[in-house]
Amino acid sequence: MSRTGTPAWMGRPTPAVRAAKAVALTVVVLLVIFPLWTVVATSLASPQNVIENGGWVIWPEDFSFGAYTEILQGGIITRALLVSTAITVVGTALSLTCTIGLAYTLSRPKVYGGKPLLLLVLFTFLFPPGMVPLFLVVQSAGLFDQYAALILPFLVNVFNLVVMRGFFQSIPSELIDAARIDGAGEFAILRKIVLPLSKAVIAVIGLFYAVAYWNRFFEAIIYFNDQTKWPIGTVLRQYVTGGASLAETSGELATASPQSVQMAVVMLATLPIVCVYPFVQRYFVKGVVTGALKA
C-alpha cells in the first residue's frame, strides 16, 4: 500500500502532534542505532583514546585498525570466523535443499501419503524436542565434536517449511499442469517453473536459516569438547559475556586496548548480518504482501 499524501479526512496534524511524532521516532531510531554505533566507534579508536574516555568512545579522535589486525592475524577468533562462515554456508544450502524438497512435495494436492506426512511434520511444532532428549539423539548419532552437530539437529525449521509450502501452494496450478502436459517431469517442473517463481521466499527463508546458523552458540558448548572448533558466537560469549580476557589468547595487546578488541569481535559477529540484511529486506515487503493477500 502506498500513500502519496495526507488523505483529506485526516486533517492537518497540529505542529505539536507532528513534533511529538518526530521526537518519538527519533528516540526509537537512536535507541537501536546508538548502541551499535558505540561498538563501531570503540573498535576503531586508538588505545589512548579509549583509556582517556574510560573504556568506550562515541567519536574516535584518532582511528586505529589495531583491534582488527590483532584478531585477524590468526588465533582463535580468526578460526572461529572461518568455522562460522563454513557452517552458515553449508548449513543454509542443506537446509534450503531439504526444506524446498519437503515443502514442494507437501504442497502438491494429491501426492501419495501427503496428509499423514503433513501431520507427522506439524505435530513436532506442538511438542518441540526437549534439550536433554535431543542431546541424547545427537550423542547416539556420533556427532560429538563434529561440525555436523551444529547443522543436522536444525536442518528443517517447521515454521520455515510451512511458509515455503504456503508459497508453493499459491503458485497457479495451471502453470504446473501446462508444463506437465508438455512432458516435463516433476523435477523439471520444480527446477524450471516453481523455483524461479519463488525467489523472494527462498531469499527470505535463506536469510532466516543463515542468521540462525551464524548466531548459534549454545550447541557448541554442549556438543564440543574441543574449543578450537567453536564458532564465533560461542567464542564471543566466552570473551564478552563470560568475563574471560582476550589478552590470554591474543598475546600482547600493544596495538589495541582490550575494549577495542572486544568491540571489534562484536563488530565482526554483527557485520555479516548487517551487510546481507538490506539485500533481503526488500523481499520482506514482497513476502508480507503475498502473505496478506493470501490471508
Partner 1 sequence: MNILFQLGTAREALDVSMTRVRGGTGGTSPPVEEPPTRSKEDGSRPGHLRRIRADRVLLIIAVPGLAYFLFFHYGALFGNVLAFQDFVPFLGLSGSEWVGLAHFERMFGDPEFWNAVKNTLVIAALQLVFFFPAPLALALLLNSIVGDTIRRFVQSVVYLPHFLSWVIVVALFQQMLGGAGVVNGWLSDLGMGGISVIGNPDAYGPLVIAQLIWKECGWATIIFLAALSQVDEQQYEAAALDGAGWGRRLWHVTLPAIRPVIALLLVLRLGEFLSIGFEQFFLQRQSVGPETGEVLETFVYFTGFASGDFGYAAAVGLFKGVIGVALIYTANKVAHRLGEQGVYQR
Q: DSSP 3-state assignment of 40?
A: helix
123 binds partner 1 (CB under 8 A): yes
56: left (phi over 0), alpha (psi -120 to 50) or beta: beta
- Mapping DSSP onto H, E and C, the string for 70-85 reads HHHCCCHHHHHHHHHH
Residues numbered 186-205 forming contacts with partner 1, rule: CB under 8 A? 186-187, 190, 204
- Residue 12: what are its φ and ψ, rounded to 5°? -85, 125
253 binds partner 1 (CB under 8 A): no
292 binds partner 1 (CB under 8 A): yes
Of 51, 98, 175, 178, the one binding partner 1 by CB under 8 A: 98
Residues numbered 8-37 forming contacts with partner 1, rule: CB under 8 A? 9-11, 13, 17, 21, 24-25, 28-29, 31-33, 35-36
Q: C-alpha grid cell for residue 35?
A: 548502541
Distance CA(104)–CA(208), nearest Å, equals 19
Of 5, 15, 74, 172, the one binding partner 1 by CB under 8 A: 5
Q: How far is the CB of 273 from partner 1 (least distance, A)?
A: 5
Q: How far is the CB of 217 from partner 1 (least distance, A)?
A: 6
241 binds partner 1 (CB under 8 A): yes
**274-277: long-range contacts (C-beta < 8 A, 24 or more apart)?**
276/207, 276/210, 277/207
Q: How far is the CB of 119 from partner 1 (least distance, A)?
A: 6
Task: Give strand ranges (E) for the chain.
Answer: none
Distance CA(201)–CA(204), nearest Å, equals 5
290 binds partner 1 (CB under 8 A): yes
Of 69, 73, 173, 281, the one binding partner 1 by CB under 8 A: 281
Q: How far is the CB of 78 from partner 1 (least distance, A)?
A: 18
108 binds partner 1 (CB under 8 A): yes
Q: C-alpha grid cell for residue 284?
A: 520482506
